[in-house]
A = this chain, B = another copy of it.
């Protein structure tokens, strides 16, 4: 349990108030089998369950009756076999008490609570399940096929409203994750040497994440092929003169995340061409920090970044034509096929399981269907207390270049002959986590991971002294 009892009591009261009527059922996670039933991946509790019920054990559910105000923590107590294999843990009743929940019941009682509500014609609110065991459990509870469980829009909206704005104590936990992220990334920059492998570096930084926190906040991206958005580490050795893109984050024991990306030169020095592209990405990254503040739509920040990127790519002879028209047409998306950033918190893409349109958009800002912009996970108006990532990138994706050239997509804005010469470039991304403050934003993390080309080169040089 990360915070004081009162925090959870208040969160549940706010949730009950927002949802209004019916029975809220928040499922905790179970162990997730890797290659046989008893060999599970590292246990990760569901974030919304944690947010409202605070307990880390598997096999729990939380129930809130919005009308009566009653609350239950549901779960089975352990027996002597569990104690031998997994040690002594608290009873479910003790866990309930700890987070200010008055009642506890065994898991079998969940069926009865739900059946009684349904019989009385009351709505049972559940979040969209993303784990298949929970899909089966909810399907059985609600009488639906496991892949067709219907989530409650009222519950989704209420959870998103509460979890979007981070409290001071949540920010401190994210800062703690950033401190682990600092160690991971400075270690990766230090190890960015010819001969070592992507897999080796990913292993080392994964070890740092687990040593100081609970796990990496997502599978680390450590790749010489930065042009692959989610390039998983390979055992191939790093090659002098190429770039290494590392996109990785930590998760604290309390399950708050960090998420940073740096793209470093293998061998210590960027080439002229790499430095030119890196500088553009760094300037785009800085621009987003200058523009982000309460009242501004993150979609507009994204588009301003795209404008800057386009005008700078024109200077390099990679794009042409009118900047505004090029951005409206989405021509820049050949280089930046993803969005500027996403919400971050207990999930690295915070609340992504509740639906991108519910989390990153609202009634006045709707998701786009244009290639590139459609991948912007966060578009809506920024509020104080939001934590979002700022992660522009420029990529040269051979298959995409071939496709756009063949189909003459945006050809009036793209200099394909020049672009062709960059097909061996890879990709560059720079990412930090920013907190929206009263009148602007703040980069999270006590120490800033070096991010400008010159800073990274200097950091590497110092390490090698």
Chain A positions near chain B (C-beta within 8 angstroms): 32-42, 44, 46-47, 80, 83-88, 130-133, 135-136, 146-147, 199-212, 218-219, 225, 228-232, 235, 253, 337, 346-349, 351-353, 397, 399-400, 403
A36 and B347 within 8 A (CB): yes
B399 and A83 within 8 A (CB): yes
Q: Which residues of B contact A403 (CB under 8 A)?
A: 80
Nearest chain B residue, comparing its CB with the CB of A85: B229
Starting from the known contacts A33-B131, A146-B146, 13 additional A-B residue pairs (CB-CB under 8 Å) come to A32-B34, A39-B347, A39-B348, A41-B219, A42-B219, A84-B337, A85-B230, A86-B230, A132-B133, A132-B135, A132-B136, A200-B212, A206-B210
A349 and B132 within 8 A (CB): no
A47 to B35, CA, bound (A): 7
Nearest chain B residue, comparing its CB with the CB of A133: B132
Q: Which residues of B contact A80 (CB under 8 A)?
A: 399-400, 403
A36 and B211 within 8 A (CB): no
Q: How far is the CB of A421 from chain B (nearest CB, A)?
A: 20
Q: How far is the CB of A79 from chain B (nearest CB, A)?
A: 10
A203 and B212 within 8 A (CB): yes
A211 to B197, CA, bound (A): 8
Contact partner of A211 (CB less than 8 A), chosen from B136, B204, B400, is: B204
Q: How far is the CB of A198 from chain B (nearest CB, A)?
A: 10
Q: Which residues of B contact A225 (CB under 8 A)?
A: 87
A35 and B42 within 8 A (CB): no
A199 and B219 within 8 A (CB): no
B38 and A228 within 8 A (CB): no
B130 and A37 within 8 A (CB): yes
Q: Which residues of B contact A200 (CB under 8 A)?
A: 211-212
B132 and A35 within 8 A (CB): no
Q: Which residues of B contact A207 (CB under 8 A)?
A: 203-208, 210-211
Q: How far is the CB of A371 from chain B (nearest CB, A)?
A: 9
Contact partner of A206 (CB less than 8 A), chosen from B41, B206, B351, is: B206
A44 to B36, CA, bound (A): 11
B199 and A210 within 8 A (CB): yes
Which among A41, A208, A352 has the greatest number of chain B C-beta atoms within 10 A? A41
A44 to B337, CA, bound (A): 28
Which among A35, A210, A253 has the greatest number of chain B C-beta atoms within 10 A? A35
Nearest chain B residue, comparing its CB with the CB of A132: B132
Q: Which residues of B contact A397 (CB under 8 A)?
A: 83-84
A38 to B131, CA, bound (A): 11
Q: How far is the CB of A334 from chain B (nearest CB, A)?
A: 11
Q: Which residues of B contact A136 (CB under 8 A)?
A: 132, 135-136, 146-147
A36 and B132 within 8 A (CB): no
Top 4 A-B residue pairs of the complex, sorted by shortest distance between their CB atoms: A207-B207, A203-B211, A36-B353, A132-B132
Q: How far is the CB of A140 from chain B (nearest CB, A)?
A: 8
Q: Which residues of B contact A135 (CB under 8 A)?
A: 132, 136
Nearest chain B residue, comparing its CB with the CB of A214: B199
A230 to B353, CA, bound (A): 31
A131 and B130 within 8 A (CB): no
Q: Which residues of B contact A351 (CB under 8 A)?
A: 36
Q: Which residues of B contact A32 (CB under 8 A)?
A: 32, 34, 41
Between A and B, 19 residue pairs with Cβ closer than 8 Å are A32-B41, A33-B130, A35-B47, A35-B346, A36-B130, A37-B353, A39-B352, A41-B42, A84-B228, A84-B399, A86-B229, A87-B228, A132-B135, A136-B136, A200-B211, A202-B211, A203-B208, A206-B207, A207-B210
Which among A46, A207, A351 has the greatest number of chain B C-beta atoms within 10 A? A207
Nearest chain B residue, comparing its CB with the CB of A205: B207
A191 to B137, CA, bound (A): 43
